[in-house]
Structure 1
Amino acid sequence: MKQNNSRRKERHLLMSLVLLLVALLAAFIVPLPYYIEAPGGAQDVRTVLTVDGETDSEDGSYNFTYITMMPATLAGLVHAWVTPFTDIYSQNEVTGGASTEDFTRINNFYMETSQNMAEYQALTLAGEEISMDYLGVYVLQIMEDSTFQGILHIADTVTKVNGQSFESSQDLIDYVSKQELGDDVEVTFQSNGQTLTEKGQIIKLDNGKNGIGIGLTDHTQVASSHDVAFSTAGIGGPSAGLMFTLSIYTQVADPDLRSGRHIAGSGTIEKEGTVGDIGGIDKKVVSAANSGAEIFFAPDNPVDEEILKTDPSAKNNYQTALEAAKKIDTDMVIVPVKTVQDAIDYLEKG
């Protein structure tokens, strides 16, 4: 009897160890519906950009910064909770409910727009010949309460609203936001090679403004007197726009602008030269500092009034970047910029 009890205990212990091992493996392997955002790195723009086939061999570098976004496991979540500059987001917060394929496509659209805007702005500042045709806006997301659910789809291009064409996505947004809540609105769009027109209604957006309930970015096409070539396969999003612009401008107009300095930064770029806000800037400061950058350009725009209503202590990109730099005790200089010209002026002053 004692021998049977001993064997039973051994089997129970073995089973417990096996279950524990399975649980530990699951904690490291089984994906959860969350993503972990952490500092990534900084990459020399010259590795993905050339102008007229020439290599920019001047000293120093312009570096675009990036973050890592990893699917979470239980072990990853525990690690993220105790690791500085690491945030956890739900899968829906990251992808907006889009499939992996659509999410990748969305980020590629952002990158395409960023490249076109960077080329346009850089060559315009350099006094070079360039034109940019505005083809409409790419549809990147359709909100759940949008009356265009099932009508518009990701990758469609909206070309008109109520029969009106626009010069930029911001012009379209401004027009739609002035319409009354519940008003009928007619949208013309291109989908799978067809031009279609459908009706919906104006709704209240999460930011408190009126709209049609879609996420969007400019669909543009540029033609210039220079051959600006990008090799950005696997890299998505719009936040490298500022650094792309500075790199192109330097090669065309002012080869000595860097003066041997290692410069990083982040920010979108708009047609008129303004630098737009980006996400995860605290992590990008860490990425830049770890790469040895001496200067970091950060967008310095006012916090949206609607955000301040719910969070009066909200900080803008520049303030968040300064706070991050202080926490990691870096000597890297954080420079506020509202336009590309701000960045050029700072570099020219040496």
Structure 2
Amino acid sequence: MKQHRRKITALVVVLLLLIGFFLPLPFYLETPGTAESLTKFVTVNGKKDQHKGRYMLTTVALQQARPLTYLWSKTQPFAETVSKEALMGDASSKTYEQMQTYYMQSSINDAITVAYRRAGQTYHKQYRGIYVMSLLAKSKFKSALAIGDTVTKIDGQRFKSAQQFINYVKRQRVGQKVTVTYTHNKQVKTVTQALVKLPGTKRPGLGITLVDHTRVKTDIPVKVNVGEIGGPSAGTMFTLEIYDQLTGGKLRQGRKIAGTGTMDAQGQVGAIGGIDKKVVAASRAGATIFFAPNDKVTKAEKKADPDYQNNYQVAKAAAKRIHSKIKVVPIKTFSDVVNYLQK
């Protein structure tokens, strides 16, 4: 009888452990990630960065919550729970991942543009077509087009922007058939289907969410391979790594420098999420400088939340909280980054 009870007890323990480790909860855990050296991601003119010190991009670790990891998160000062809706909106996991890939590639394109322009080097922006971000359930093209495809022509016509594409489709009628040329997994394909009425309007459309798909070509070759890292938040650090390599690697001076922030084609730095966790990751990696977006706090934001703090303020508070000696530097443009390092 005792042996039978022990077996039942052991079975219950195993079952509880399995539930604790593997049962997915309906939210995610956000914790400090890593500070990755940009040397392994960026190659300029066929060469890796060999200068002393390093530039680092910082990440936030994101994982589906399980009972045991959720309990563990309660003991961690910088762990947060995030709902799927807050993280992805109404997008599916596949769409969300595809969007992050697009944002990363777009960020890299803008980083190259800003770095090469400031370094006085030649670059050319090539328009590749319309990037498919999502498809409506009622789209007639849903059986052919997939998230991540690039539409290159409509009815044999090429366009130079998403707006030109939209303007052409606007002039057609709901139910009219159009022929779309697109690339899927590097293969060129065509499909002919009818336009549908876009939700909340009387206008015709393919029933896709679209953005411009561009690529930057340079005389001095540059390659950026980020693996599975997604999103636009490493734009500032990519720009810095590329620019420093183009100009002889004089800015770093042996220091470990981390940071975050989006970068647009005009050199403006944008705010990002999870910056407190990124400061923790940078401090753990030994960074002595951390660049943080100093985004403007509007009156509307202050009115909605009197305690609202921008990226720079949150980053500075995080460094203080962990008693780190890391220097948090506020930035609004790429020029702010360069000017600080040239001091």
Structure 1-normalised TM-score? Answer: 0.77
Deviation at 1:149, TM superposition (A): 11
Taking the TM superposition and a 5 Å limit, the aligned residue runs for 1:241-280 are 241-280=235-274
SS at match of 2:101: helix
- Whole-Å Cα distance in 2 between the matches of residues 279 and 138 of structure 1? 24
Distance 1:37 1:150, change over 3 A: farther
Say whether the 8 Å CA contact 1:156–1:189 is kept in structure 2: no
- Whole-Å Cα distance in 2 between the matches of residues 330 and 235 of structure 1? 26
Q: Which range moved further: 134-143 or 230-239?
A: 134-143
1:85-136 CA-partner distances (Å, limit 9, x unpaired): 1111223433445444443332221221111111111000111111213456
Deviation at 1:84, TM superposition (A): 1.0
What letter is aligned with 1:335? Answer: V
Say whether the 8 Å CA contact 1:31–1:72 is kept in structure 2: yes
- Whole-Å Cα distance in 2 between the matches of residues 312 and 166 of structure 1? 44
Deviation at 1:140, TM superposition (A): 3.4
User: Quick one: percent identity of the two aligned structures?
Assistant: 38
Match of 1:53 in 2: 46
Deviation at 1:142, TM superposition (A): 6.7
SS at match of 2:47: coil
What letter is aligned with 2:14? Answer: L
Deviation at 1:284, TM superposition (A): 0.5
What letter is aligned with 1:74? Answer: P
Deviation at 1:337, TM superposition (A): 0.8
Question: Which consecutive residues of structure 1, in runs of 5 or more, have no partner in the other structure?
Answer: 1-6, 177-183, 205-212
2:30 equivalent among 15, 19, 37: 37
Distance 1:189 1:287, change over 3 A: farther
- Whole-Å Cα distance in 1 between the matches of residues 320 and 97 of structure 2? 34
Distance 1:346 1:87, change over 3 A: same
- Corresponding pairs, count: 319
Say whether the 8 Å CA contact 1:110–1:217 is kept in structure 2: no
Matched, 1:342 2:327: no
- Whole-Å Cα distance in 2 between the matches of residues 189 and 328 of structure 1? 54
Match of 2:8 in 1: 15
Distance 1:290 1:200, change over 3 A: farther
Deviation at 1:312, TM superposition (A): 3.3
What letter is aligned with 1:290? Answer: R
Deviation at 1:302, TM superposition (A): 1.9
Say whether the 8 Å CA contact 1:148–1:200 is kept in structure 2: no
Distance 1:91 1:258, change over 3 A: same
Question: Which consecutive residues of structure 2, in runs of 5 or more, have no partner in the other structure?
Answer: 154-158, 168-173, 202-206
Say whether the 8 Å CA contact 2:140–2:195 is kept in structure 1: no
Distance 1:110 1:149, change over 3 A: farther
Matched, 1:112 2:105: yes
Match of 2:125 in 1: 132
- Whole-Å Cα distance in 2 between the matches of residues 314 and 53 of structure 1? 45
Distance 1:203 1:345, change over 3 A: farther
- Whole-Å Cα distance in 1 between the matches of residues 69 and 115 of structure 2? 41
- Whole-Å Cα distance in 1 between the matches of residues 299 and 129 of structure 2? 28
- Whole-Å Cα distance in 2 between the matches of residues 303 and 198 of structure 1? 42
Cα RMSD for the two superposed structures: 3.7
- Whole-Å Cα distance in 2 between the matches of residues 217 and 280 of structure 1? 25
Match of 2:234 in 1: 240
